[in-house]
Structure 1
């Protein structure tokens, strides 16, 4: 199979869809890999690294799309890429269709096969291709939140860990999934007082068992959220509904109950955000302020640490890329129920129910 790895062109996205080690495995399996010039540069991988393992480096993104049958990316295609995606393409990347009707319509029009990393689902309900980026984003949420709590950036001026004689900062984490647990772990490591909320009692029991005593659990309800936001310094939105828009747990009117300089980090921004006032931002301009509350809503948080993120992503995507390349998408998905869950848009049809529900459209059966 002809496999293309284009350079990501989303604002400040420095990750790349495949490391040289991943390309090596594909070429070892008798596939041809086309990598766009400087595609890996932001992640610390150079054109010579790809050439050394047998890849062909092409100058332009147009050449990569034209040469490839399967495109392996990191982020969803943006408007400049829409015309490059054709009906013979299999595109394997993060799509987050439910948050963008424009993207969904463009991919339907292309009649390509769109397989979304974020909906590839194991039998136990886990999301193996989303997990590593959720781990990165959860940890980064605290790193970024701690920075934006500083007064020069309009935060409350709170040091999360406190100092002797001064209480630590308070962190509220909404969602006890991968993002929430990683955020709680990082905040606890800094010495902050952490409250983590979820509606899944089994998950809260797990958190209670594994976290230190200054991480407390609480059942998530509007009443409890409204109570906690009044005295917490940093609030992390880490709620995920697979393939669907995130629920709005913090509404516009709640901002008035927060103290000036409170920081909100909405990790769910890719799925529309779990904070009503969320709007996607970039690493170039990451924050905005509403009612004296700082919002950090960067839609590709792991892109700020591309070396770590690219390695972590290729570790989990490579087996699926190999399966798709070796067997073709139809056979690979027929044999692997986990991979089949990644099918979102196929030949002009939506085949993933939650996407259709997001736009009140009908689902076409396979």
Structure 2
């Protein structure tokens, strides 16, 4: 099979979908690998390393014309003309992106999304490492924007001798929220976590003891905690579906001036009412005296780490798709759940429910009940 890896074009996206080591394994298995020249540069993976692994350098068009195209982020409008009836494996987040869904349908693409590849136990093996990175970065970026020169309250996450650390409220105790909580505790912040699931709250208590306050999430609890917060991390995820809105504008308007909110769920539409996708070059929105950070590709800030983690998670699936093509989507249940678009129809039920105007065929394997 011919496998193509285009360079990413999203703002400050430094990740690449395949490392030289991954390319070498594919070439050793008898596949042809075409890497767009310079695609690995943001992760300090040079063209020479790919060539040494047996890959061939090519143009953007060469990479997109392959049988299997590997990307990191969803195609953006400038890439829509490059879509075709091949197999695309990348993050898509289609529930919050109807224009992309329509473009994939029109092109006849078979599109498998990293964020809905799901095991029988409900875990998300490719999304999880990126969520963990985003969670840790959420606290680091939030702490950065709490500094006075960047419009924040002038609060240090860890405080100072005799001075309490910043109050950090994490909404959601899944993979991203847990990573954010770990980072907040490591920084010495006064940390609070809210979640609907008692088992997740108990896990947070067991991991951090009295360094964290775990609270059952209700609208009243969210309001109470946010009014005392310096930094809020929104880490709410429902696989394949738009993120629920948990923080309304009216609540942000009552928060402390200079407080910071980081929306890790922005790829799925965001969990704050005011959230709109931002970029690494222009990362925050000013809302009623607070700063809302909504960068839609947070792990791109740490491309070397994030690329290694991503390729480690995708590697086995990529090798299986390269070996068996579309047939693998009906053999591997986890990959089958990742199928979002095929044969001119949506194939993920959660995405179809978010985009009811688009054609839908039942998925080959249903997502596990949550």
TM-score, structure 2 normalization = 0.96
Which residue in the other structure is 1:235 paired with? 232
Give the Å deviation of 1:63.
2.0
User: Using the alignment, how far apart are the partners of 1:200 and 1:104 within structure 2?
Assistant: 32
Residue pair 1:243, 1:355 contacting (<8 A) in 2 also: yes
Which residue in the other structure is 1:285 paired with? 282
Out of 341, 351, 364, the residue aligned to residue 347 of structure 2 is: 351
Out of 111, 116, 121, the residue aligned to residue 124 of structure 1 is: 121
Residue pair 1:170, 1:232 contacting (<8 A) in 2 also: yes
Which residue in the other structure is 2:164 paired with? 167
Asked whether 1:297 is paired with 2:281, we answer: no
Which residue in the other structure is 1:61 paired with? 60
Which residue in the other structure is 2:20 paired with? 20
User: Using the alignment, how far apart are the partners of 2:162 and 2:198 within structure 1?
Assistant: 35
Give the Å deviation of 1:50.
0.2
Which residue in the other structure is 1:219 paired with? 216
Residue pair 2:263, 2:275 contacting (<8 A) in 1 also: yes
Aligned-residue RMSD, C-alpha: 0.9
User: Using the alignment, how far apart are the partners of 2:13 and 2:220 within structure 1?
Assistant: 38
Instruction: Note the 1:86-101 alignment, pairs <5 A.
Output: 86-87=84-85, 89-101=86-98
Instruction: Note the 1:11-90 alignment, pairs <5 A.
Output: 11-58=11-58, 60-66=59-65, 68-87=66-85, 89-90=86-87
User: Using the alignment, how far apart are the partners of 2:196 and 2:207 within structure 1?
Assistant: 18
Name structure 1 gaps, 5 residues minimum.
none
SS in 1 for 2:353: helix
User: Using the alignment, how far apart are the partners of 1:365 and 1:299 within structure 2?
Assistant: 29
Name structure 2 gaps, 5 residues minimum.
364-370
User: Using the alignment, how far apart are the partners of 1:213 and 1:254 within structure 2?
Assistant: 28
Give the Å deviation of 1:123.
1.1
Instruction: Note the 1:243-322 alignment, pairs <5 A.
Output: 243-322=240-319
TM-score, structure 1 normalization = 0.97
Residue pair 2:147, 2:153 contacting (<8 A) in 1 also: yes
User: Using the alignment, how far apart are the partners of 2:326 and 2:125 within structure 1?
Assistant: 18
- Deviating beyond 2 angstroms after TM superposition, the runs of 4 or more aligned structure 1 residues are 359-363
> CA offsets, 1:128-163, max 9 Å, x none?
000110111000001100000001111011001111
